[in-house]
């Protein structure tokens, strides 16, 4: 399992929210490039970069920050937030992203989502399946749909997606532990239907022990945000854990 530090961007700063609420914004760094350099310098290999301005505006807003970070560090960067068209995906890939998440768009336009999958493939596109009370949430988590998350994921896995990132919004930024029951339900459904899945956990992770639990459950990755910024998980120890996991 790979450990993936998160970096959420609002107004050019590195921030964290609580349960997706923009009114709870807490700024942790005004230079995200320096934060990315610390991640890379510690030995970590991935970065989950979220354009929260873009997620709210439904259009990419922090492309310049992605370009600066990708030019400054040797990290495999996956991006999300505000990606609503084929051109948006082309732009972030041109700016240095290795992977990009199809989130709100996948809930709104299945045909376009599958066209994107055909164009870029399952190695570069990640299905975003964030949920509130078991239902898919969209538009920077400000709206909840009537799409059950497990069915939503299974439907896209059957169409060729393999990489999935899922957040239980009630746990995001709360350091209350990962949504293990949610991930077990997703994995169980995929196994029942004979569908390949590389599931990435996000939200609530508070310790290396949580990562161990997720690894034993068969997840392929875990995104860690607030626990890093609050010092509950030291990035040097995290990199050492990753080295042993590899």
Please write the tens of the pLDDT for every residue from 158-189. 999 999 999 999 998 889 999 999 999 999 99
DSSP codes, 28-89 = EES-HHHHHHHHHHHT--EEEEEEHHHHHHTS---HHHHHHHHHH---EEEEESS--SHHHH
State yes or no: is 21 an active-site residue. no
Active-site residue, from 78, 130, 168, 172: 130
Confidence of residue 21 (pLDDT cuts 50, 70, 90): confident
Model confidence at 79: pLDDT above 90: yes
Model confidence at 36: pLDDT above 80: yes
Please write the tens of the pLDDT for every residue from 124-145. 999 999 999 999 998 777 789 9
State yes or no: is 130 an active-site residue. yes
pLDDT at 28: 95
pLDDT at 25: 94
Joined together, the tokens standing for residue 190 give: 């995929």
Active-site residue, from 8, 78, 168, 172: 8
Radius of gyration in angstroms for the set of CA atoms belonging to the chain, rounded to a whole number: 16
pLDDT at 173: 85
Confidence of residue 246 (pLDDT cuts 50, 70, 90): confident
In whole numbers, what is the pLDDT of the chain averaged over residues?
A: 95
The answer to which of 74-78, 142-146, 200-204, 229-233 has the lowest mean pLDDT is 142-146
Please write the tens of the pLDDT for every residue from 189-222. 999 999 999 999 999 999 999 999 999 999 999 9
pTM attached to this predicted model: 0.96
Domain extent at residue 206 = 2-245
What's 137's domain CATH number? 3.20.20.70
Separation CA 54–CA 105 (nearest Å): 13
pLDDT at 34: 98
**Residue reference for tokens 């970069």:** 49
Pairing of strands 46-51, 21-29: unpaired
Q: What domain count does the chain have? A: 1
12: Cβ contacts below 8 Å, ≥ 6 apart:
30, 32, 62, 65
Model confidence at 59: pLDDT above 80: yes
Q: State percent of the chain over pLDDT 90.
A: 91
């Amino acid at each position: 399992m790979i450990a993936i530090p998160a970096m959420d961007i609002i107004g050019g700063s590195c921030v964290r929210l609580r349960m997706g609420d923009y009114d709870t914004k807490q700024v942790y760094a005004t230079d995200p490039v320096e934060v990315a350099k610390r991640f890379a310098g510690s030995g970590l290999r991935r970065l989950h970069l979220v354009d929260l301005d873009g997620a709210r505006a439904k259009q990419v807003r922090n492309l310049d920050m992605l370009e600066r970070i990708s030019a400054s560090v040797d990290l495999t960067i996956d991006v999300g937030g505000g990606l609503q068209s084929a051109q948006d995906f082309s732009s972030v890939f041109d700016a240095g992203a290795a992977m990009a998440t199809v989130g709100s768009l996948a809930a709104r336009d299945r045909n376009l989502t599958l066209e994107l999958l055909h164009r870029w493939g399952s190695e570069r596109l990640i299905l975003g399946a964030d949920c509130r009370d078991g239902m898919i949430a969209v538009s920077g988590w400000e709206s909840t749909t009537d799409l059950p998350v497990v069915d939503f994921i299974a439907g896209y896995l059957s169409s060729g997606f393999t990489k999935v990132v899922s957040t239980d919004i009630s746990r995001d930024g709360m350091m209350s532990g990962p949504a293990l029951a949610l991930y077990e339900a997703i994995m169980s459904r995929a196994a029942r239907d004979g569908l390949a899945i590389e599931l990435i956990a996000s939200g609530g992770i508070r310790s290396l022990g949580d990562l161990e639990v997720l690894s034993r459950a068969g997840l392929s990755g875990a995104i860690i945000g607030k626990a890093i910024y609050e010092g509950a998980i030291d990035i040097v120890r995290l990199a050492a854990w990753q080295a042993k996991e590899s």
